[in-house]
Amino acid sequence: MGGFVLSSAFDSKSGQLILVTLLIMVASFYTGTLFGNKSAIYVQQTPLESSPASFNQCLILAGYSKITNKVALTFRRTPLSIPETGMNVCPLNYNEYIPCHDISYIKGLLPNLDISKKEELERHCPPIDKRLFCLVPPPEDYKLPIRWPTSRDYVWRSNVNHTHLADVKGGQNWVHEKDKLWWFPGGGTHFKHGATEYIQRLGNMMTNQTGDLLSAGVVQVLDVGCGVASFSAYLLPMDIQTMSFAPKDGHENQIQFALERGIGAMISALSTKQLPFPTNSFEMVHCSRCRVDWHANDGILLKEVDRVLRPNGYFVYSAPPAYRKDKDYPMIWDKLMNLTSAMCWKLIARQVQTAIWIKTEDRSCQLQNAEQKLLNICDAVDDSQPSWKIPLRNCIKLSSAKAQSQKLPLRPQRLSVYSESLNNIGINRDKFTLHTIFWQEQVNWYWRLMNIDKMEIRNVMDMNAYYGGFAVALNTLQVWVMNIVPISTNNTLSAIYDRGLIGAFHNWCEPFSTYPRTYDLLHAHHLFSHYKHSGENCLLEDIMLEMDRIIRPQAIPRLRVTNLTATQSSIALPSPKGERFLGFIIIRDEESIISRIKVIAPQFLWDVESHVLENEEHKSEPVIICRKKFWAIV
Ligand SMILES: *[C@@H]1O[C@H](CO)[C@@H](O)[C@H](O)[C@H]1NC(C)=O
Ligand SMILES: *[C@@H]1O[C@H](CO)[C@@H](O)[C@H](O)[C@H]1NC(C)=O
Ligand SMILES: *[C@@H]1O[C@H](CO)[C@@H](O)[C@H](O)[C@H]1NC(C)=O
Ligand SMILES: *[C@@H]1O[C@H](CO)[C@@H](O)[C@H](O)[C@H]1NC(C)=O
Ligand SMILES: *[C@@H]1O[C@H](CO)[C@@H](O)[C@H](O)[C@H]1NC(C)=O
């Protein structure tokens, strides 16, 4: 029955694919309802056979058994210790715990925060002894996420149990509730009728009605206040890569929706500090009713946009000041015009509800405006410093005297661009090429070792991304990769952006700005060894705990379908064993670190498989593939 109720939620547009997904979803239902009574934690183990009769009962579910870990609100203590029973599990109401965006902690800081600048929306990580040291549990009735591309339009309602957005944004077609699902029709505040038409219009506006975004040179986009990231989702068919961000604010859980849909996004805010993205990274910064006061504080936030935009990049602004004449809107528009012309941006189009500026490379204009005190030019800035916790600067960087050296091609050619910025940190072109080949090989190995259908994986994070070779090797698959460059390594993130990829700076001694259960695959290449001397507050266990928080749990094992009815007999299972595969953590590192993780992993309820691969110097290197088990508090 469940299957048929569900199937009515889908259009029969892309037949087979949807059927396959549907099947998995029905299976997921059962994993979701497996846990009935409230007492202990269970983890599934051995497969159960059952006799199939109706469509429902065709699904054979895994069995489960009790595990010893305890549910207890536990804080990080120094020295660190893990109970003999295994890591404690945080109580159920912590199922959305994001340590550095924890409202109950931030409340206490409010007296010292600049609310007028929305500083409370930035990262505020609790000190180590106020951080939880327990595994974050899934919510009640958690289901394995729906696969991409169906997930673009449908996610499980119970996985993101927040009705607020649908209540306030349903009219703008952001998201609707549909039985047990959330349905994303692809709308947004300024594209109620779908993002495709809106995207076309933007392209037309940028090219005097002659072309689209690609012909305007847009390959990488920063979407400010992205909502449920429909804009990004609909740029994907053009192979335009979007970094979407939004704060954790009144628009409950928009980033969680985005990630559950399989769209790249993270929590961040434009407030008092620079964004964790390098200078000169995007051809377009987009704000559709993004609730940012660009005109305030002498336009300091526009100067941050200027920083991250590439030369001749676009600032696309769809908000009431661009088209309405009531309230304060004309005054705000006036201010925006004053600020942007002082920065030597040029308004190139203003149409329907959207205004578009271009960041020109007009050095003489900048110098002139600086002389007239309309604008501050930044003191020489060292772009190789990661933008991490750096206060915003009320200045812009002077355009270089000579034309920008590197003109970047479109993707996929852009993926092989060797960025001049690598030269400065001692990576020459040969090393870069070898690195690229090396990662192609490694990724082939990974897939063989994981032994899964490539369509299973969608949200991927490379926790120590170097120059992005891992992400480049994954490029032909339907995945997106968040490339993280730790702030204490050489800054290679600019080079990653120059290859047409997205990513962010991060310090792994702190939790990342994402919701729990948002990645299918984490890759940690020499991550632990990099942090091994980081002190008592940044131990291997701390990083493992954060990995456990952000990785999705694996599927229940051995989910099988038998005795399909005539109409379903053509349904192929998504993998040879008929399982849904998620929750992979690939770790390669020094022998001592790997052995230590192998000892601790069971306490985190991870399965571990050991392998050996060759490193770049053709020496053996241990590689482990961990899987986060699917457990729940019942
Ligand atoms: C399932 O199929 C097998 C083999 O085709 C058959 O022996 C069995 O009776 C079927 N079970 C049901 C419930 O239809
Ligand atoms: C969803 O949240 C509501 C309260 O906001 C709660 O009553 C309900 O049980 C939750 N449902 C699930 C499946 O977690
Ligand atoms: C469109 O054409 C007009 C007139 O030729 C020109 O002023 C304007 O800058 C052009 N806009 C763009 C986006 O190319
Ligand atoms: C914009 O600049 C003009 C000329 O300098 C000035 O008269 C006007 O007051 C400014 N507008 C706003 C809203 O600041
Ligand atoms: C970082 O860059 C410097 C040159 O600026 C180089 O000497 C050093 O080896 C690099 N470090 C790493 C870990 O690659």
Q: Per residue in 6-57, pLDDT tens?
A: 332 233 333 233 333 333 333 343 333 323 233 233 333 333 333 332 222 1
Bridge partners, 181 (sequence order):
156, 178
Structural element, H or E, at residue 462 = strand 459-462
Residue 592 beta carbon below 6 angstroms from any ligand 4 atom: no
- In terms of residues, how long is the chain? 634
Q: Per residue in 445-475, pLDDT tens?
A: 999 998 888 888 999 999 999 999 999 999 9
Q: Look at residue 26 in the predicted model and tell me its pLDDT.
A: 35
Q: How far apart are CA 541 and CA 545, in angstroms?
A: 6
For residue 261, count CB atoms less than 10 angstroms from its CB and return exposed for 0-12, middle for 13-18, buried for 19 or more. Answer: buried
Helix orientation angle between 540-550 and 591-600, rounded to the nearest 10 degrees = 60
Residue 272 beta carbon below 6 angstroms from any ligand 2 atom: no
Contact 580, 24 (CB under 8 A): yes
Q: Look at residue 565 in the predicted model and tell me its pLDDT.
A: 36
Question: In CATH, what is the architecture of 190-372?
Answer: 3-Layer(aba) Sandwich (3.40)
- Between the alpha carbon of residue 124 and those of residues 102, 103, 113, 481, the distances in Å are 8, 10, 10, 25
Distance 60 CA to ligand 1 centre (A): 14
When pLDDT is cut at 50, 70 and 90, the band that residue 165 belongs to is low
Residue 296 beta carbon below 6 angstroms from any ligand 4 atom: no
Among 17-21, 101-105, 393-397, 583-587, the minimum mean pLDDT is found in 17-21
Token reading at 545: 């705990």
Token reading at 233: 């989702």
Distance 557 CA to ligand 1 centre (A): 22
Among 161-165, 321-325, 487-491, 521-525, the minimum mean pLDDT is found in 161-165
The answer on pLDDT for 251 being more than 60 is yes
Query: Atom 4 (ligand 1): residue with closest C-alpha?
Result: 563
When pLDDT is cut at 50, 70 and 90, the band that residue 116 belongs to is very high
- CATH superfamily of this structure's domain 415-562+577-633: Vaccinia Virus protein VP39 (3.40.50.150)
Q: Which of 38, 92, 159, 161 to mutate to test the pocket of ligand 2 (most atoms within 8 A of CB)?
A: 161
The answer on pLDDT for 378 being more than 80 is yes
Structural element, H or E, at residue 421 = helix 420-423
Q: Which atom of ligand 1 is nearest to the CA of 563?
A: 1
Q: Which of 297, 302, 331, 334 to mutate to test the pocket of ligand 4 (most atoms within 8 A of CB)?
A: 334
Q: How far apart are CA 187 and CA 193, in angstroms?
A: 6
Residues 6+ apart with CB under 8 A from 485: 386, 464, 465, 466, 491, 492, 493, 496, 503, 504, 505, 506
Bridge partners, 356 (sequence order):
316, 349
Q: Is 548 helix (H, G, I), strand (E, B) or coil?
A: helix
**What is the average pLDDT across 226-254?**
88
Q: Look at residue 578 in the predicted model and tell me its pLDDT.
A: 38
In the chain, how long is the greatest CA-to-CA distance?
82
Q: Look at residue 190 in the predicted model and tell me its pLDDT.
A: 63
Q: Look at residue 49 in the predicted model and tell me its pLDDT.
A: 31
**What is the average pLDDT across 596-621?**
94
Structural element, H or E, at residue 197 = helix 195-206
Q: Is 513 helix (H, G, I), strand (E, B) or coil?
A: coil
Q: How far apart are CA 158 and CA 32, in angstroms?
A: 9
Residue 428 beta carbon below 6 angstroms from any ligand 5 atom: no
Q: How far apart are CA 551 and CA 549, in angstroms?
A: 6
DSSP labels, 69-121: --B---B--SS----TT-S-B--GGGTT--GGG-HHHHHTTGGGS-GGGTGGG
Domain ranges of the chain: 190-372, 415-562+577-633
Q: Is 147 helix (H, G, I), strand (E, B) or coil?
A: coil
Nearest ligand, measured from the Cα of 143: 2
Residue 59 beta carbon below 6 angstroms from any ligand 3 atom: no
Instruction: Single out the residue of 34, 3, 5 nearest to residue 179, CA to CA.
Output: 5
Bridge partners, 349 (sequence order):
356
Q: What percent of the chain has pLDDT over 70?
A: 82
Q: How far apart are CA 607 and CA 592, in angstroms?
A: 19
Q: Kindly report the CA angle at 140 between 631 and 87, in degrees rounded to 5?
A: 40
Residues 6+ apart with CB under 8 A from 150: 10, 17, 18, 21
Per mean pLDDT, which of 3-17, 158-172, 390-404, 511-525 is the most reliable? Answer: 511-525
The answer on pLDDT for 71 being more than 70 is yes
The answer on pLDDT for 178 being more than 90 is no
For β-strands 241-246 and 282-288, DSSP reports them as unpaired
Residue 335 beta carbon below 6 angstroms from any ligand 4 atom: yes
Distance 328 CA to ligand 4 centre (A): 14
- Between residues 487 and 188, which one has the greater pLDDT? 487
Q: How far apart are CA 480 and CA 543, in angstroms?
A: 22
Q: Per residue in 273-285, pLDDT tens?
A: 999 999 999 999 9
Residue 9 beta carbon below 6 angstroms from any ligand 3 atom: no
The answer on pLDDT for 602 being more than 60 is yes
CA atoms within 13 A on the CB side of 362: 15
- Mean pLDDT across the chain: 83
Nearest ligand, measured from the Cα of 374: 4
Residue 425 beta carbon below 6 angstroms from any ligand 5 atom: yes
Instruction: Single out the residue of 420, 270, 285, 445 nearest to residue 359, CA to CA.
Output: 285
- Between residues 185 and 397, which one has the greater pLDDT? 397
Structural element, H or E, at residue 584 = strand 584-588
Q: Is 470 helix (H, G, I), strand (E, B) or coil?
A: helix
Q: Look at residue 52 in the predicted model and tell me its pLDDT.
A: 30
Q: Look at residue 43 in the predicted model and tell me its pLDDT.
A: 33
For β-strands 503-506 and 480-486, DSSP reports them as parallel
| CB environment 460-489: b (16+ within 10 A), e (fewer) | bbbbbbbbbbbbbbbbeeebbbbbbbbbeb
Distance 395 CA to ligand 4 centre (A): 19
Q: Which atom of ligand 2 is nearest to the CA of 161?
A: 1
- Between residues 98 and 5, which one has the greater pLDDT? 98
Q: Per residue in 567-576, pLDDT tens?
A: 333 223 333 3
Q: Look at residue 170 in the predicted model and tell me its pLDDT.
A: 59
